[in-house]
């Protein structure tokens, strides 16, 4: 199943790719296709080459401990040519990616912003947001993933983020296909009832729209902190004819009543917050979850799950060089024990570098 905007020229005059406005010129699009290819080359070819080079050093006894400190790993891994090239490719493709997306959407900025404004009162679905919303300092302190303006400061932040994820995922989610698959795999509460669903930190709302596809008769909500993202999420949902209620809210302080939702989804939020705030967000989700309801958390795997030395180095690289300021502390925060103390029953499963916790209230 996929989502796609068809038959509309759109604000850049060049139609849509899946559910996002195409770049403003063929040149921009083709440049970004090249960047996407370079990134995929770094991931698919340079990653295995780098891991192999580090493994050879480990086999030669350059790293003594089985569970080395990151500084010990870096002292050996950083100087390896394959690793250096890979690191540079990932860092540079990210920078080139953002610069070109911003330049390209800038050419049609007025039309793109107008489209957001026009969609505010459009349906189906609804949008609540506050132009004077006070963001917490931890959120504005650093541009996440080095996105210019971060999530919150450029009115086109949603557009920029969305095209950025196209390059980041190598085009594999252009029509929401990966998100739809993920939402269709979600477990349900033990009694099977899903009449009210909440997507916490829904960003551009692709998981939220997918939830409406899976549960068409349910009331579907998405909350998100950044105004440009939640406005974009609503506009995108109206284009896809999805009846979803979006609102700008802080995950740590939701304005829903206690015991409201049957199923709550919190995907890749916690590693982007200080640990204490993340714990408040979990407790808030528990508050608005009804007894017997289910909270599904999907995020980076914790340090309690042993990673091979290369994967640990890679996790640190992303934290340090791709502006994930809270991620490394998060992976060392022992969320498992916290969740077990909060919920009646918790199941955890690990899939490579990510982890899922099913928390039953």
Give just the sign of the alpha carbon dihedral 246, 141, 156, 161: negative
Q: Does 324 bind ligand SAM (CB under 6 A)?
A: no
Strand duo 261-267 + 354-360: pairing: unpaired
Distances (CA, A) of 276 to 29, 152, 272, 304, 329: 41, 21, 12, 18, 11
3-state secondary structure of 151: coil
Residue in this structure with the two tokens 């849509």, named with its chain if needed: 16
Distances (CA, A) of 70 to 94, 117, 169, 353: 23, 47, 27, 17
Rounded Cα distance between 228 and 204, Å, is: 9
The values of phi and psi at residue 359, to 5°, are -115, 115
Closest CB 186 distance from ligand SAM, rounded Å: 12
Closest CB 313 distance from ligand SAM, rounded Å: 21
Q: Are 223 and 201 in contact (CB under 8 A)?
A: yes
Closer of 82 and 160 to ligand SAM (Cβ): 160
Closest CB 339 distance from ligand SAM, rounded Å: 18
Residues 76-115, mask of contacts with ligand SAM (x by CB under 6 A): ----------------------------------------
Closer of 16 and 145 to ligand SAM (Cβ): 145
Residues within window 189-248 making contact with ligand SAM, judged by CB under 6 A: 201-203, 207, 224-226, 229
Closer of 82 and 297 to ligand SAM (Cβ): 297
Closer of 76 and 160 to ligand SAM (Cβ): 160
Closer of 68 and 171 to ligand SAM (Cβ): 171
Q: Are 248 and 222 in contact (CB under 8 A)?
A: no
- Of 336, 359, 315, the C-alpha closest to 73 is 315
Residues within window 43-62 making contact with ligand SAM, judged by CB under 6 A: none
Residues within window 250-279 making contact with ligand SAM, judged by CB under 6 A: 250-252, 267-269, 272-273
Closest CB 250 distance from ligand SAM, rounded Å: 5
Closer of 146 and 193 to ligand SAM (Cβ): 146
Closest CB 136 distance from ligand SAM, rounded Å: 7
Chosen residue from 31, 105, 139, 343 binding ligand SAM by CB under 6 A? 139
Closer of 77 and 250 to ligand SAM (Cβ): 250
Helices (H), the chain: 26-41, 47-59, 70-77, 81-106, 109-119, 137-140, 157-168, 177-185, 206-214, 227-239, 275-288, 309-321, 327-331, 335-342
Site residue total, ligand SAM (CB under 6 A): 18
Applying CB under 6 A, which residues contact ligand SAM?
A: 139, 151, 201-203, 207, 224-226, 229, 250-252, 267-269, 272-273
């Amino acid at each position: 199943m996929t989502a796609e905007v068809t038959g509309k020229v759109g604000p850049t005059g060049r139609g849509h790719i899946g559910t996002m406005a195409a770049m403003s010129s063929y040149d921009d699009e083709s440049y970004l296709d090249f960047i996407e290819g370079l990134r995929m080359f770094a991931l698919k070819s340079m990653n295995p080459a780098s891991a192999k080079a580090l493994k050879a050093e480990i086999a030669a006894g350059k790293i003594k401990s089985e569970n080395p400190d990151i500084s010990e790993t870096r002292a050996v891994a950083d100087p390896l040519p394959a690793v250096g090239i890979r690191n540079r490719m990932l860092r540079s493709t990210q920078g080139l990616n953002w610069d070109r997306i911003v330049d390209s959407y800038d050419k049609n900025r007025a039309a793109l912003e107008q489209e957001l404004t026009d969609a505010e009162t459009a349906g189906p679905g609804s949008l609540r947001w506050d132009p004077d919303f006070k963001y917490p300092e931890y959120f504005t302190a650093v541009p996440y993933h080095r996105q210019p303006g971060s999530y919150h400061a450029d009115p086109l932040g949603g557009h920029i983020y969305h095209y950025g994820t196209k390059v980041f995922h190598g085009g594999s989610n252009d029509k929401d296909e990966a998100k739809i698959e993920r939402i269709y795999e979600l477990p349900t509460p033990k009694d099977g009832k899903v009449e009210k669903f909440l997507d916490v930190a829904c960003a551009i709302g692709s998981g939220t729209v997918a939830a409406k596809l899976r549960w068409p008769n349910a009331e579907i909500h998405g909350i998100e902190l950044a105004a440009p993202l939640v406005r974009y999420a609503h506009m995108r949902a109206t284009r896809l004819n999805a009846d979803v209620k979006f609102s700008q809210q802080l995950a740590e302080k939701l304005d829903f009543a206690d015991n409201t939702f049957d199923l709550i989804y919190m995907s890749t939020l916690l590693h982007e917050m200080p640990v204490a705030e993340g714990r408040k967000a979990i407790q808030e989700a528990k508050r608005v979850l009804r007894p017997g309801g289910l909270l599904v958390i999907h995020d980076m795997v914790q340090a309690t799950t042993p990673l091979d030395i290369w994967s640990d180095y890679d996790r640190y690289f992303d934290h340090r060089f791709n502006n994930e300021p809270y991620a490394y502390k998060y992976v060392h925060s022992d969320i498992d024990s916290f969740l077990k103390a909060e919920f009646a029953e918790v199941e955890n499963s690990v899939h490579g570098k990510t982890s899922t916790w099913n928390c039953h209230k």
